[in-house]
Chains A and B, each alone.
Chain A
Amino acid sequence: MGPLLHFVSKSILVALAGAGLGLLATWSALERGASLEIVEAGPWRAAPRAALREADPYTRAGRARSGEIPMAPAEGLAFFASRDDEGAPLDARCDYAIASPVPAARFWTLAPLDAQGAMTATANGRMALTSAQIVRDEAGRFEIVASRQARAGNWLALPAQGPFMLALRLYDAPASAQPAAAARAAMPSLRKGRCA
């Protein structure tokens, strides 16, 4: 093999390996839901600007791939949690207590999703709780029990089994203007109870 042929074949190898590595990195970043603009508060995570044209390139690529239409700041703010306050993954075999406060909002909804973020069948067929359905004490405080078994009071029905996520969506929320500060100030606690 002449030196030129040697160089050309090595270059082709470099180009192929590089392209493969680069695409693998893209795939893995999008699979992990990589985003450069995340607000975190305990186990709750939000991407307040994900809907916008100015969102970071990873968020925009992920959105193009998934087809998701995130909430814009002018509409509200969506938080997702896949772990409890202790950092343990949410598991439908366990009960969870979700206690106030919730950031100020005209309305909010709380919905269970499967571990991939897809809608999943629940014990009572209901897909979410809304702020209008919550029973509160005199001070306006409340506790929601998330369980696959029926509960008296504020019950969020969970999927039959497996790891799951929670989505807390705030509508007409001042929090969407200052998401980081609002999240630090008032996010609901998420404590694990008994496990089957």
Chain B
Amino acid sequence: MEEALNLYVDGELPLDQQAALFGHLAACPACRRTLDSVLSFRRWSRQEPLGVPPALDDAFFKRLAEHKARHTRIDRAADRRPLWQAQAPVTLRAGLTIAIVVFLLGLFVPSNLQPVPARFAVIGEEELVELPAVAASEPGRVEPLYVFYPGLTIEASKTEEPAPGESL
């Protein structure tokens, strides 16, 4: 019956259930006292003037103007970020301190790594190519040809001076 009593106080009790409530109230002094108390509280609470003081408007519009002047929209979502996603500005002093600490730690870290031997890439080979046929056909050529890879380079040696009377 307590629920019906509260619904009645709130104006939510259907009409067809009100007769049963009134019948119960007629026979139940405790519920009558409860109803009396609740209604008295309601009467008393409405006696208090709760007008908004004019100073509130002035203070609010002043704050609003300051807010607009700053043009800063406060990101409330940042307050709700989890700790691991929190972002905070770091001062120059803190940044320098962290850098120095990391540097010092790096100095004292033991290094077990063997020095990596230097590796040289062979970019080309020299190959001696003898050209006996050429040498036989051209007695003036006495030096070999040099061939370089990967590109092919042929160094031609100079030939002997032509005999007097020979045309070039």
Partners in one complex: no
Q: Report which A residues bind B (CB closer than 8 A).
A: none
Q: Report which B residues bind A (CB closer than 8 A).
A: none
